[in-house]
C-alpha cells in the first residue's frame, strides 16, 4: 500500500513539474501567446502598409494628377507659366 501511495505521489509531482516548468508549461504557453499577438500586430501593420502602397500604385497608373503631385512635392517641379515663390522664415 505504501508503494502505491509513493507511486501516486511521484506521478503527481511529475505532472505538476510538467504543468509549471516542463515542455508545454503554462509559462511557455503564455510566452507563445504573447509572441503570437506581437506577430499578429506586425502582420496587420504590414497589411495596412501594403494596402496604402497598392493604392498609391493604382493612383500612379490611373492618372496624371498623382504623378504631378509627386513631381511637385519630391522634385520641386513647376508648370510652364507658373510663378514659384519661396518663403524663408
| 34 falls within a domain | yes
Model pLDDT, residue 58: 84
Is the model's pTM score more than 0.75?
no
| 88 falls within a domain | no
Region of residue 79 (phi > 0: left; psi between -120 and 50: alpha; otherwise: beta):
beta
| 89 falls within a domain | no
| 57 falls within a domain | yes
The boundaries of the domain holding residue 38 are 7-72
User: 38-53: per-residue pLDDT in tens?
Assistant: 999 999 999 999 999 9
| 87 falls within a domain | no
| 81 falls within a domain | no
What is the spatial distance between Cα 87 and Cα 83, in angstroms, rounded to a whole number?
Answer: 13
| 77 falls within a domain | no
Per-residue pLDDT of the chain (89 residues; tens, 9 = 90+): 889 899 999 998 888 887 777 777 788 889 999 999 999 999 999 999 999 999 888 877 887 777 787 788 788 788 888 887 778 87
Cell representation of residue 5: 501511495
Please state the domain count of the chain: 1
| 37 falls within a domain | yes
Amino acid at each position: 500500500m505504501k508503494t502505491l501511495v509513493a507511486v501516486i505521489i511521484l506521478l503527481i509531482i511529475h505532472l505538476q513539474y510538467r504543468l509549471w516548468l516542463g515542455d508545454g508549461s503554462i509559462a511557455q504557453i503564455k510566452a507563445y501567446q504573447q509572441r503570437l499577438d506581437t506577430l499578429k500586430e506586425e502582420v496587420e501593420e504590414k497589411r495596412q502598409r501594403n494596402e496604402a502602397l497598392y493604392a498609391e500604385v493604382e493612383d500612379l497608373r490611373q492618372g496624371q494628377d498623382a504623378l504631378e503631385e509627386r513631381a511637385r512635392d519630391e522634385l520641386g517641379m513647376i508648370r510652364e507659366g507658373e510663378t514659384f515663390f519661396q518663403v524663408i522664415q
